Structure 1
């Protein structure tokens, strides 16, 4: 049991119950929050200079629950870099703190803190020590706290998170703060590596399917250990339908075990029948179970043909898609599983069967909802590369962190049946430059190192005419599998298909049927000079795919 309190520990402690198997402890309640500066990133009085220290008095800070978005709580403004793109809400500098005690039983455990997303440019401290920094607000990350923690059952541990969202940092409403879930991850020294399972189905058929389960096991004990790795496939009804067991020696480097498992009479995941299987992984050392790990996955077969379009389980599938940024409207950017489900159910009721995560990796709740509802996904990495589109966006950090961001994006979603393609960027400025060619090579290699089962695409608004042969754009198009076209004409699509016959083309972004974009006017307000909503607001965009000529 983990007991959590604030520091100084004068409040009544709350108790967080570990999840199944005791591997994770949600860090939902018990946080304290202070908005230091909504206008920038300064602390002019120095009142927060010691905010990371465990004995800092945060009793005057607000009590909040995570996920949390402080921007949506503020008053709209046109100051501090706020614009229509930010919903006129400011960002700024904020601090979060949470305190907890760990029992003596955790003395021999490995403990890390895991965030699904913090927007943005965050620094994480444990008991006053800087543990790590993570600039991108839309990818998750984990930090090992083991050597910094107290495990005597009484001394509080304090995690403090500094968040810097200097505006403008995005072209749409981003929110600010720990806007996605957070948790402690508690394991034995020998355990399944974070995102350490990969499930593929190299053979699928009506009578049988081959499920290939690859599991990476790590060992932080300091000495080589023999570990037994057990894999079990559980069908949608909860029945175990295949098993595999292997023994491996795990030293300083991760050890990988592969099990080829046969599933008879597989139930295929489809948009109308989204059947989910689960891979249950058990790691045993000296006859004792030291870790359990569950991975939802599917059995399905998806292809995209440049001439005939996409197929799912052997039948043509026209994708009727929508682009959705990560916010939840009036609720802001703080993720809420029920609100996500509601949003996507509304989309599906409109005929949507595909989602483009514009223009960043999605929250895990979106992936899970799409799996349950039968919505396929294009998961997108970035809205910019080196050349930012706003003064303080992720372009500042791209060179140093994009490899890690690509890795996190793919690992977090590669087992999902809903994910059918990876996008390495949207409307990228470097698309026509020599440096862009090198970046594309690096990002493509990063994706393929982790997943070779899905096509790699990019979204572009530039391809209304053919690039010069041998130009960077021409060479990039030769490297990717598909090209998403934003606001293109039929003539440009035909010309591109003729030049690049192996490249599948799809409409990744388009205006509504009347091409209205930027403002709506109510009929009774026409010619009155009033504009609703404010000028610059953008309606949702759509994404569709169909074969050329259809």
Structure 2
């Protein structure tokens, strides 16, 4: 369930007419923070006047310098962790004394403990789970109250990727009447019946509401349910008969509603409805919840793959860790939206939240933007992967953590399946049978409408004990593309999903010649590092290098696209992420797996996927055209919606080529001559697209381009500014490595800088950044005030640039 603060104006007017009494407060501002430990900080009279004041969400690790000496080393992004404290003082009026109060945390990494007015509320070790505490018995209405939170991320390593540290997701304070809906107590199931089975497309919506009564006396109430479409039109309305809630009692009420001529939710048209649940006592509204839902049907077939609204759909997905590049783990809606926009333009239609529950805002965006989501629970069960990871908390916490995940996320139309784990080590012995059955049962008890999988790294069914539990609805295989065409032989009657694939490496803008030699890097060895790598810690951006357990991008995709029974895949990974910098050791500090680099700049293989996953015309020509005279250069072209491509060098044709049935790119081997390389794609003899790359001269100027020229003056919205170095003719300089100094004026700050280079160890908060392959990024965040923000970028010996961004209410 997601209680949303911005609801349709029609619904808002309806609710205000009855003066609803539930209040949800953004609780992110005016926190105090101390990096370090102090056992007295939980006490309300503790003096925190010298602590730093900040606004949540907050990740303290990303604020520091990368270092080879921190305990996390490359397993955690080479950024420090430790222990931190947060405190907030707040006042609730005496007029609210008849209300119940709770605080909701969307995620704290990790091992958090919380106090209210010195009273200990509890501990939550899992850093990715949303949870809440009841504050009512300890609140002093009309007086100051103090929340204190201790966060312990000191035991390292506890993660195979960058986790971040602190209260890195949103916090809310919720006031409600004592007779109200349970937290996460609304469960909306919506099924789509298309015109093939009914006279018109129909939506069947069932709303199950969990209720409680703490008033001290029995309460007779009614449950009213209203459903609005995306335009705010009321499409269904029903009210229950009297419901009697005994004191200290709970109840569940179910309502079934039909929506005629329904508009289905899909990845291409993610139409959402709003379900308004009103708990009423006469004309008084005791509680109100708005739930966003989408009406759609999802199913798998072992022979034909995946169907959305009874239409076949190949799952074209990517795996995503939770960090937001230079912002670290601190949740920001615009940063997540930008990532999804870039993926959507590539043709991606699905996200796997590797390997943990995401921020709820990510699912809100996926509902709105049209992404299917596999929500994953755990990276390990009882058997550890890191010295201090979740394994030691699994026995005590896995049931509550898994239930909270499902209860929070089960209403999202984007969520189409659950994963109970990733490459779990119990798959290799019989303990996997018992645990898999238990975890699937926990999920199904809270949501029986979605299939459950587990990402399996052991492909052989005879050796895989999680598979042998027969608890999984879908067989999720990580890698092992070599057995995919024989999947039905090994897993007769089972459903296939590539839950994690590729692990191909690339550094944007670096090209290793010749390009037609694919190889594993590192070789299969316990060290898992490359022995004969490049001295600058780069990997070729031609699709020619992968980890020994994976494949190049083209190798696996060619198999997946060929067979209907292969329902789809999730590429490892969508974006580069902090931590896990295989194949290199320090000073590499972020991954090489991404289709898109850490700064959000697409690598060349992005356009291979775009040419395969979208219907819009694509023509991508690479590499750059700055080489040594006479050097043989492999020129690649990705294209679609055309029959042929002709390549020209300085006006002279180098020939026409066509893709064969199994080709995903074209290749010319061209002796370098300075000038202009041009590709022309044609269909039925008619030109479709033209792309040119010219030899660049020396760096002469800076250009700046903002993805948003106007941002909201809310203190959270962002503008991503891309910097390019050009020569005196405006051509991008592909090897420019200028040191850039960013400065800012007006109501904005530089929230981070980056260049996408995996071995840049300068802090991602630094206003000074060296270009990588002629590019850099500055992230501008408003301060909450209106006005014009001016960002200047300068570098010795070349023309600077200034760009203006408006911050508006």
Normalised TM-score (structure 2) = 0.60
2:471 is aligned with 1:475: no
Partner of residue 156 from structure 1, selected from 109, 126, 144: 144
Q: Which moved more, 1:388-397 or 1:526-535?
A: 526-535
Q: What's the Cα RMSD here?
A: 2.3
Residue 238 of structure 1 and its aligned partner are, at CA, apart by 0.6
Partner of residue 196 from structure 1, selected from 178, 185, 194: 185
Secondary structure of the 1:254 match is strand
Partner of residue 529 from structure 1, selected from 505, 526, 535: 535
1:126-172 Cα shifts (integer Å, max 9, x gaps) = 00011111111111001000000001x2x210000000112211110
Match of 2:321 in 1: 325
Secondary structure of the 1:516 match is coil
Match of 1:3 in 2: none
Residues 301-316 of structure 1: pairs in structure 2 closer than 5 A: 301-316=297-312
Distance 1:91 1:370 in 2: 30
Structure 1 segments (4+ residues) deviating >6 Å:
524-527
Match of 1:389 in 2: 385
Distance 1:284 1:78 in 2: 60
- Do the aligned residues in 1 keep the contact of 2:22 with 2:288 (CA within 8 Å)? no
Distance 2:78 2:473 in 1: 38
Residue 541 of structure 1 and its aligned partner are, at CA, apart by 5.9
Residue 396 of structure 1 and its aligned partner are, at CA, apart by 1.5
- Do the aligned residues in 1 keep the contact of 2:194 with 2:309 (CA within 8 Å)? no
Partner of residue 488 from structure 2, selected from 487, 492, 497: 497
Residue 205 of structure 1 and its aligned partner are, at CA, apart by 3.0
| 1:441–1:128 CA distance, 2 compared to 1 (3 A) | same
Partner of residue 341 from structure 2, selected from 330, 342, 345: 345
Distance 1:131 1:58 in 2: 21
Distance 1:367 1:21 in 2: 27
Structure 2 unaligned spans of 5+: 1-18, 514-531, 540-580, 596-608, 614-661, 663-809
Residue 299 of structure 1 and its aligned partner are, at CA, apart by 0.5
- Do the aligned residues in 2 keep the contact of 1:192 with 1:283 (CA within 8 Å)? yes
Residue 58 of structure 1 and its aligned partner are, at CA, apart by 0.4
- Do the aligned residues in 2 keep the contact of 1:87 with 1:173 (CA within 8 Å)? yes
- Do the aligned residues in 1 keep the contact of 2:102 with 2:135 (CA within 8 Å)? yes
1:312-338 Cα shifts (integer Å, max 9, x gaps) = 111110111111101101110000001
Residues 278-293 of structure 1: pairs in structure 2 closer than 5 A: 278-293=274-289
| 1:431–1:222 CA distance, 2 compared to 1 (3 A) | farther
2:78 is aligned with 1:85: no
Match of 1:122 in 2: 112
Distance 2:20 2:344 in 1: 32
Normalised TM-score (structure 1) = 0.88
Match of 1:50 in 2: 40
Match of 2:243 in 1: 248
Match of 1:507 in 2: 498
- Do the aligned residues in 1 keep the contact of 2:139 with 2:145 (CA within 8 Å)? yes
Distance 2:354 2:280 in 1: 41
Secondary structure of the 1:449 match is helix
Distance 2:447 2:512 in 1: 53
Partner of residue 538 from structure 1, selected from 588, 591, 597: 591
Residues 25-64 of structure 1: pairs in structure 2 closer than 5 A: 25-36=25-36, 43=37, 48-64=38-54
Match of 1:466 in 2: 461
Q: RCO (CA 8 Å, sep 6+): is it higher in 1 or 2?
A: 1
Secondary structure of the 1:130 match is strand
Residue 375 of structure 1 and its aligned partner are, at CA, apart by 0.7
Match of 1:177 in 2: 166
- Do the aligned residues in 2 keep the contact of 1:466 with 1:496 (CA within 8 Å)? no
Structure 1 unaligned spans of 5+: 1-18, 37-42
Number of residue pairs matched? Answer: 507
